[in-house]
Structure 1
Amino acid sequence: MTVTTPNAAGLTALEARLKQDLAWLELPAKSWVPRRVVDGAPVIDVVIVGAGMAGLVASGMLKRLGVDNQLVLDRAAAGQEGPWVSFARMRTLRSPKELTGPAMGLPALTFRAFYEAQFGEAAWTALDRAPRTLWMDYLVWYRKVLNLPVRNEVAVTRIHARADGLFALDGLEAGETRQLLARHVVLATGRDGLGGAFVPSLADGIDVRFWAHSAEAIDFARLAGKRVSVVGAGASAMDNAAVALEAGAARLDLFIRRDDIPRINKFTGIGSQGVVHGFAGLPDEWKWRFLDHTLKTQTPPPRQSVLRVSASKHAHFHLASPITELAACGDHLVVTTPKGRYATDFIIFATGFKVDFVLRPELAEFATHIRLWCDRFASPEGMDNPELETSPDLGESFEFLEKTPGTCPALSRLHCFNYPATLSHGKLSGDIPAISEGADRLARGIVRRLFVDDRERHFDNLKAFATPEIIGDEWRDADATQTAG
């Protein structure tokens, strides 16, 4: 449907309602973490790297639990965080519009409330799924109404573990390197948060002017009149193919390794609060079985995304067509599959992401110490899975664990709240459906650690507290000696 002009007054009223709801719930909680200053510099209790959806809800959860000495850093400009207005190219979100996502259990903080306040209940009923750019508007509003401490255009270039138990973060801001001290660091860095884009080795040696990964910035306008190929059958493949066609590509070849496009969304089919809260309690082999099965069956692209591509007469779907060779031939490429050879001017790899610490220089000091699943768990027979094998093995609060105990204790205060956490915790840190539950688990773990680490200060405060509630004139001792009258 066409979105009408938003009603600003409706949004103002919603913000007033949210303010009242928070007041009735006594949220956010009062600040309680003792402040620290080291070498004349203030120490931040929690620094969150990434101000996309995961980073914002993590910040919101910490704030509601009384951790207000925190900071959220993002390299993007304000309003550009996350994938929504950068490399995400779908028209609408893939998730059902009713999902409450980062709302933290607050009705007035949901996307539905945000939408209905501006466009009305009838428009909500007519809406199929949330428009992608409007979802970004919602996240911008979410940040504003919760007054979250986000600092934009800051790139974290290095994280150091200090001998005094703190982290020092090198950040590049406005061309200058500045350093922050923090007790905990949360990596809310998205799908590629522990690595980067996965591109098949067949692209090695091919000039980058001929290809791109689907998560990169692509100048689709220059593909007008060109032959374009896309590798993959997922949502990202369909979205990139559609944008290329809409930009005027003369021919679009979609190369799909499987003999059919995935049709069933397995994990959504069994979605429940049992999965949300129970997955982390599964024995390791069962965690592996669940995710190995869903990864190998793959998630289907949304029906509307496929129709967006197939509606064009210039689109050609090639099933059972893995690319076996890719070669430059003058001013174009030649793609070879078991079914034939195809000339193309540009190829887009919608081939996902990988864990590779070499691609994350900010984690260089910790990379060799981080325990992966393959370091302690052997893939069950017939279930080899490189993506799962390289997943980080995380603790109860999304904290990294040491490969060799005692060699890098700082990892217990470095938290992985991004997509690679899925094998350890389930889908709580990378997708909309259970992001609030994931943030709650993360925040409660950090709060527990902050309190325990400050136990001496809190005990001193306990002993020093001397504000009386009873002042002594509220009763008379019946057995006290009476003066004879």
Structure 2
Amino acid sequence: MDEFFDVDGEARRALDLLGPAPENWVPARAGIDHDVLIVGGGQTGCAFAFALRRAGIGRVSVIDAANDAGTAGVWLNRARMNTLRTPKTLVGPEGDVAGLSFRAWYEARYGRDAYGSIERAPRREWAAYLAWFRTFLDIPVRYGVRLSRIEPAGDSFRVHLEVDGEARVETVRKIVLCNGVAGNGRAFVPDVVAHLPPALLAHTSQAIDFSALRGKSVAVIGAAASAFDAAATALEAGAADVHLFARRAALAAKPVSRTRGYPGAYDNYHGLPDALRWSQARRFRREGSTAPRDSIERVTRFANFRLHVGAAIEAARAVDKRIVLNANGDAFAFDFAIAGTGFAVDLAARPELADIAPHVRLWRDQYTPPPADADAALGAHPYLGEALEYLEKTPGAAPWLRNIHVYNPAGFVSAGVPVGDVPSMRRDIPAVVRRISRDLFHADIDTHAARLDADVPADFDATLYAANVWNAQEHDQPLSQGIS
């Protein structure tokens, strides 16, 4: 018989066993509004807020451009998979507090047998868990706040914000970019289709009205997971037919990143030589991003799904409110096209990074691969430090860059995992929090030195033990008498 639990009660017990969070130890600075600004209130932004709280770091602000919790993040909006693509057993936002884990939440809600029966977390259940996590821990997120510019200001930053449509400037010491897959760049749409009217073309990162595609003919460009998820959603919504165009002669089927999943490689990846990290990233690019087996099965069960392999789009044009695509010498007409073509890392494409982008060291500035392993897309990734901090392109020119930590997929080449997804949490959130703690502590070392040397009142005085102090004159003979 299955067992059910009070998830809030179990979580409170887990926190109670851990002990109370420390009080904020970071000295306040005149003119500073926030010690840490977290950009993005999704799963990683809230995880960072919790981890910083447990580290005794206060004055943390979490902002999100979405208007409310329901429209924030990807899980109920732009994500279209049925289940997460990562194993359910990975440590997530709970860190070392098992009572706050997805497993604890799911078992409390559905029972242990139900948890044992799933291989991966259902997407909507994961979204519900994250909402509980944020609410239970009382993590405040400032919705309707968009970061528009990061302006260096000595050893801090002036951050330009749009708050409910109004401009505002606040000051911060540390920034953590938990701003999603396009957080250091943009959605990538191939030039061959980018000119098509927005009414006929969307990227998978955009909101798409799939109900409007009922009875329509749809093209999907790309063969990674997001492309298959979009194709499946269109088919499930009643599309007349869906054609998916893949450039490769066969679908990518080898998830080569799994070779790096054991603790030795995972925990020590940042210390690997640049050449080895680059070769691992190149191997991933050569093999291609694999769609999960269930994402492919989700579309192949439809008789009106057609897969085109070895079919790069050669030309595209709009004709009478439809799209004509040319591939492999053939022409195909569609009512709508979806680009599941991923994202490009391009710091200059982000308005909020315009002031700092020229100073950031990129992989192409750090490492020159052999000609056969050259890759412009990988070279555009920022070359990050061990705490996922930006580094200077020119030493000494922009020392403030170390105070910006990148927790989004732009860290892939440096970190070896899709930063921002669940696989990166166990290693990288503690690493970033430790660095923030160290930097904030040393930045105010004189204040802390005075605190360390401060007078400490005694817990007791001599009256506590006075009656038991040995006094030879009060005794008939000394203890030494009789010792030979």
Q: TM-score, normalised by structure 1?
A: 0.92
For the Cα contact (< 8 Å) 1:428–1:435, is it kept in 2? Answer: no
Q: Which 5+ residue runs of structure 2 have no aligned equivalent?
A: 475-484
Q: Which amino acid aligns with 2:201?
A: W
1:393 maps to 2:393:
no
Q: Which residue of 1 aligns with 2:480?
A: none
Which of 294, 302, 313 pairs up with 1:312? 302
TM-aligned CA distance change 1:465 to 1:16, over 3 Å: farther
1:379 maps to 2:372:
no
1:426 maps to 2:416:
yes
1:129 maps to 2:120:
yes
TM-aligned CA distance change 1:59 to 1:380, over 3 Å: farther
Q: What is the count of residue pairs matched by the alignment?
A: 470
Q: How much identity, in percent, do the aligned residues show?
A: 36
Q: Give how far 1:274 is off.
A: 1.7
Q: Which amino acid aligns with 1:81?
A: A
Matches within 5 A, 1:139-150: 139-150=130-141
Distance 1:224 1:479 in 2: 95
Q: Which residue of 2 aligns with 1:249?
A: 239
Q: Which amino acid aligns with 2:117?
A: A
Q: Which residue of 1 aligns with 2:26?
A: 33
1:89 maps to 2:80:
yes
TM-aligned CA distance change 1:481 to 1:32, over 3 Å: farther
Per-residue Cα deviation, 1:33-59 (whole angstroms, up to 9, x for no partner):
112232xxx531101000111212122
Q: Give how far 1:96 is off.
A: 2.0
TM-aligned CA distance change 1:337 to 1:37, over 3 Å: same
1:293 maps to 2:286:
no
Q: Which residue of 1 aligns with 2:10?
A: 17
Distance 1:453 1:376 in 2: 28
Q: Give how far 1:325 is off.
A: 1.4
For the Cα contact (< 8 Å) 2:91–2:425, is it kept in 1? Answer: no
Q: Give how far 1:299 is off.
A: 3.0
Distance 1:327 1:299 in 2: 28
Q: Which amino acid aligns with 1:34?
A: P
Which of 447, 451, 460 pairs up with 1:457? 447
For the Cα contact (< 8 Å) 1:57–1:436, is it kept in 2? Answer: no
SS at match of 2:76: coil
Distance 1:106 1:317 in 2: 45
Q: Give how far 1:473 is off.
A: 4.4
Q: Which residue of 2 aligns with 1:72?
A: 62
Q: Which residue of 2 aligns with 1:53?
A: 43
Distance 2:465 2:371 in 1: 76
Q: Give how far 1:317 is off.
A: 0.5
For the Cα contact (< 8 Å) 1:35–1:43, is it kept in 2? Answer: no
Q: Which residue of 2 aligns with 1:3?
A: none
SS at match of 1:253: strand
Per-residue Cα deviation, 1:206-227 (whole angstroms, up to 9, x for no partner):
2222211111111112222221
The range that moved more, 466-475 or 179-188, is: 466-475
Per-residue Cα deviation, 1:83-141 (whole angstroms, up to 9, x for no partner):
11111111111222222322202211111110110111122222343221111111111
Per-residue Cα deviation, 1:386-438 (whole angstroms, up to 9, x for no partner):
22101101122211111112222221111111111122222262221231321
Q: Give how far 1:470 is off.
A: 5.4
Matches within 5 A, 1:308-387: 308-387=298-377
The range that moved more, 194-203 or 472-481, is: 472-481
Distance 2:471 2:438 in 1: 47
The range that moved more, 184-193 or 269-278, is: 269-278
For the Cα contact (< 8 Å) 1:226–1:249, is it kept in 2? Answer: yes
The range that moved more, 230-239 or 120-129, is: 120-129
Distance 2:285 2:396 in 1: 34
SS at match of 1:142: helix
Which of 452, 467, 472 pairs up with 2:457? 467
Structure with larger Rg:
2
Q: Cα RMSD (Å) of the superposition?
A: 2.2
Which of 181, 187, 201 pairs up with 2:177? 187
Distance 1:338 1:350 in 2: 19
TM-aligned CA distance change 1:306 to 1:272, over 3 Å: same
1:274 maps to 2:267:
no
Per-residue Cα deviation, 1:352-388 (whole angstroms, up to 9, x for no partner):
0012233311111111111111012112331122221
For the Cα contact (< 8 Å) 1:257–1:319, is it kept in 2? Answer: yes
